[in-house]
Amino acid sequence: MSQTPYLDVQNLTKSFGAQVLFENISFSIAEGQKVGLIAKNGTGKSTLLSVLTGKEGYDSGNIVYHNDIKVGYLEQAPAFDPKESVLDACFNHHGEPERVLKAKQILTQLQIPDFEQPMGQLSGGQQKRVALANVLITEPDFIILDEPTNHLDLHMIEWLENYLNRGNKTLFMVTHDRYFLDNVCNVILELDDKTIYTYRGNFSYYLEKRQERIDNRRAELARVNNLYRKELEWMRRMPQARGHKARYREDAFEDLERRAKQRIEERQVRLKASNVYIGSKIFECQYVSKSFPIRNADGTEGEKIILKDFYYNFARFEKMGIVGNNGTGKSTFIKMLLGMVPPDSGRFDIGETVRFGYFSQEGLQFREDQKVIDVITDIAEYIDLGGGRHMTASQFLNYFLFSREEQYNYVAKLSGGQKRKLYLCTVLMKNPNFLVLDEPTNDLDIQTLQVLEEYLQDFPGCVIVVSHDRYFMDKVVDHLLVFRGNGDIKDFPGNYTQYREYEKLTAKETQQGAAKASSSTKSQQGDSKPTKKDYHHDTRKRMSFKEKREFEQLSKDIKALEEEQKSLEAALCSGTLSVDELTEKSKRLPVLKEELDEKEMRWLELSELE
């Protein structure tokens, strides 16, 4: 099967002054491939996307696109004319009626309901969603996305996953959302130590194969260290005997020394802040109500209810996640807890020993002329781990993946992700016993997220997390507060994946219950006084012979399709497929899923019949 290359990158190099971001990297992306790019903050992910789309120059190399393909690019921080309307901002397509309709459908899915609202009145997150809509509306052949899930709520992310999985779309994206990478991508590129590594599978496959690469590298370094020790002995033992003939040994020694001192950025020690103390009383939310006045679409005054007589008693060591659609009041609830927004009625009764550490979406303004290490030492010189153990500010920064060199950089040199990471360090360095984290995963790289997850799992205090990152929530929280809008809040005893499974189950039961109620109503209307079963006059619909045969065949088809889906997914993650086989199977998978959905829906319809 022939495969069309959409992008070919050869020996690409980019540097800022003395700092080399990537050097002589080469990769290609073919039609139908959905490629995720993974790298640490500050190593040039967004810069690479800007270079590929012509927004920035590069030092050397070649970038070749296939002729006549249309490329759509979602920037991390898009800019709009503040005076133009939402709908005008989406029009690269001259207002054709079909495109206008599609624009309105996608904007509605992304919760941008007012199409005439000026862009200048939208928040940064809303503008990012308009930019995403703009990319999808234009139906490009090749889509490049920089952090597409930032500022999307969980339902929007699931919608976007399904949208990108439909058909044979070609993608290249940077995202920290690991479930998104796992569900959408079939190739992972990792930019590590200025080099590109390719993994032909999804995120789960990448984790497995990356660990193998790290293990192999560690074994190689161990072998090099052993040789290094032997050569060091020889150098010390024979200071007078090193003449011209031994020069090659000295050169070999210097090469070994360089390789042996390579650092592997893997966290070996778990940071346990065991000295954190918090009393038995945390906080009690005592029948709190909160609402905001709003203007309805028809111009009348209305009310947006956030909380209504809400009661909750927070337990010691509790780790709670808060989820819900954008605009349901998650951040407002947190700000009321912290005393930043007053409730309309009720109160928050907070324990005397509670010390909040608040990580906000807005971030923190740093002095650009300050060094990274000084930002932290201004808070504290060390963090107390209890039991007489301490961690210095430098060690703490190193734990959160700031290298020694980066610690002595000026803040002005940091990327957006590195500044978010530094802000996180300033919150944790204050040694709070109650962490309140509002969208902490935005713009953080995956390695930093792994370190933060580990830190929070061991954290001996309380945690509240508002996040759209499903993977992060699943690893950190014990239960959820689900904000459903209009003051309706549900406490769910489990993580996000368990909650979604529960939602699907209850929706299915509701659907089946409604179908049975409808069938029962029709039956009663047929005979108002059935005292015993009357099989001659029973009006309930039964399966015809043909429908029974169809039902039996559907059961077989569904089983066969499920087995084919498992086989396809296993093959795609195996890493053994050729490029042509990978493309063919990637095209088959979304078609199979649609076919499976249709047959399952028909099976459910027939199962309601007797």
Please, what is the angle between helix 545-572 and helix 579-607, to 10°?
Answer: 150
Asked whether the whole model's pTM tops 0.75, one would answer no
State the 10-residue block means of pLDDT for the chain, 610 residues long: 82 88 92 93 89 93 92 89 85 65 85 85 84 89 93 87 89 93 93 88 90 85 77 65 53 58 44 66 91 79 89 89 88 92 94 92 85 94 78 91 92 90 92 92 89 89 92 91 90 88 80 68 54 42 74 85 82 72 76 79 69
Distance, CA of 496 to CA of 468 (rounded, Å):
10
Distance, CA of 85 to CA of 268 (rounded, Å):
52
Give the CA diameter of the chain: 115
Identical topology for domains 5-207 and 283-499: yes
Residue 546's H or E segment, with its range, is helix 545-572
Among residues 459, 412, 453, which one has the least CA distance to residue 435? 459
Q: Output the pLDDT for position 527.
A: 52
Residue type, 579: V
Provide CB contacts within 8 A for 485, sequence distance 6+.
Answer: 324, 325, 327, 328
Q: Output the pLDDT for position 407.
A: 94
| CATH architecture of the domain with residue range 538-610 | Orthogonal Bundle (1.10)
Q: What is the DSSP letter of 56?
A: S
SS3 78: coil
Provide CB contacts within 8 A for 147, sequence distance 6+.
Answer: 76, 174, 175, 176, 442, 443
Q: Output the pLDDT for position 239.
A: 53
The two beta strands, 19-30 and 5-16, are: antiparallel
Q: Output the pLDDT for position 257.
A: 56
Q: Output the pLDDT for position 266.
A: 42
Residue 206's H or E segment, with its range, is helix 203-237
Q: Output the pLDDT for position 108.
A: 87
CA distances (Å), origin 146, targets 50, 134, 177, 547, 569: 10, 14, 12, 49, 26
Distance, CA of 544 to CA of 562 (rounded, Å):
27
Superfamily of domain 283-499: P-loop containing nucleotide triphosphate hydrolases (3.40.50.300)
13 — phi, psi (to 5°)? Answer: -130, 135
| CATH architecture of the domain with residue range 5-207 | 3-Layer(aba) Sandwich (3.40)
Alpha helix (H) residue ranges in 35-117:
45-52, 86-89, 97-109
CA distances (Å), origin 298, targets 114, 120, 295: 12, 22, 8
CA distances (Å), origin 216, targets 223, 264, 401: 11, 12, 22
Residue 176 near residue 444 (C-beta atoms within 8 A): yes
Domain definitions of the chain by residue range: 5-207, 208-260, 283-499, 538-610
